Amino acid sequence: MVRLERIADTHSHTGEGPLWHPDRRRLYWVDIPAGRLWSYDPETDEHGIAYDAPSGPIGGLTLENDGALLLFTRRTVERFEPESGATTAVLEVDAQTRFNDVIADPEGRVFCGTMPGAETLGDLYRIDPDGRVTTVLEDLDIPNGMGFTGDRETFYVTESEAHRIYAFDYDRDTGDLTNQRTFRETAADDGIPDGMTVDASGHVWSARWNGGRVVRHAPTGEPVSEIEFPARKVSSVTFGGAGYETLYVTTALTDGDRSREGDGAGAVFRVTDLDTEGVPEFRSRIA
């Protein structure tokens, strides 16, 4: 039986974007609207604020090749040095709204989605290591969790409000996405698919916003197991630890009332004693 532990009771409005830093052996994640970057050290079992962004929300983050973090804020990409706390603006993206979920690809590019606005839906951009920005998908109703298959030939992206996880053929040489198809469509009352990750056996772990759980999908898309959390809005998931044997899960407390959102809403959880393990995330090479 899996073991579930609450490791950081931060009461975050929208805890998101968990990312394991193997060099520092720490977990990083964000509280999006607060513009706050958190970290957790499993060796000391301590967590704290690593960075408060003066520029506003942080939608997501990637790990750079040299160990720095890239923070995706409101149209701006910032480089954050974990050891010194120094930040540097790297580039601006001509987007209408703030960034949401992001992921690095095997070649150091970054795929980054933006939120819908009052008169527009979200888009998915690709940033190449030379700073070139390309719009790869348009008019997504909240582009969200992304991942790659182990053979690096398939790319997943979630469209939350459409209740779908899509699969694309992925060209590692160019970063192009083709042959869109639906990997999994969820029922309207089954929670909204949010952040995701892919484990070493090719299974997709999808967080369920308003669903209170994480669902594990076989490579065919079929659900094979799930883990429930004491939080209604389960937002994202990643693997970490020395052997990537630990599952870390973020949640949200959007209305500030745990009597409605769940006793663990806004906290970060650790899941151990799993029968699988994850793989390291790819590193960006933008800055």
Q: What is the pLDDT of residue 55?
A: 79
What are phi and psi for residue 260, nearest 5 degrees? -100, -35
Amino acid letter, residue 73: T
For residues 88 and 174, give the distance between their C-alpha atoms in angstroms, rounded to a whole number.
Answer: 28
Cβ–Cβ < 8 Å for 64, 71: no
Q: What is the pLDDT of residue 286?
A: 94
Three-class SS of residue 34?
Answer: coil
Tokens of 165: 């996880």
The enclosing H or E element of 127 equals strand 122-127
Annotated catalytic sites, by residue? 194
For residues 63 and 66, give the distance between their C-alpha atoms in angstroms, rounded to a whole number.
Answer: 8
DSSP structure class, residue 12: -
Q: What share of the chain is helix, strand, coil (3-state, %, to 5)?
A: 0, 55, 45
Cβ–Cβ < 8 Å for 33, 15: no
Q: Which CATH number applies to 3-272: 2.60.120.10, 3.40.50.720, 3.40.50.300, 2.120.10.30?
A: 2.120.10.30
Three-class SS of residue 161?
Answer: helix
Tokens of 274: 């799993």
The domains of the chain are located at: 3-272
**Which pTM value belongs to this model?**
0.97
pLDDT below 50 — which residues of the chain? none
Q: What is the pLDDT of residue 181?
A: 98
* E strand intervals along 9-45: 15-21, 26-31, 36-41
| Spatial CB neighbours of 151, under 8 Å, sequence gap ≥ 6 | none
Q: What is the pLDDT of residue 1?
A: 87
Buried b (16+ CB within 10 A) or exposed e, 171-193: eeeebebeeeeebbebeeeebbb
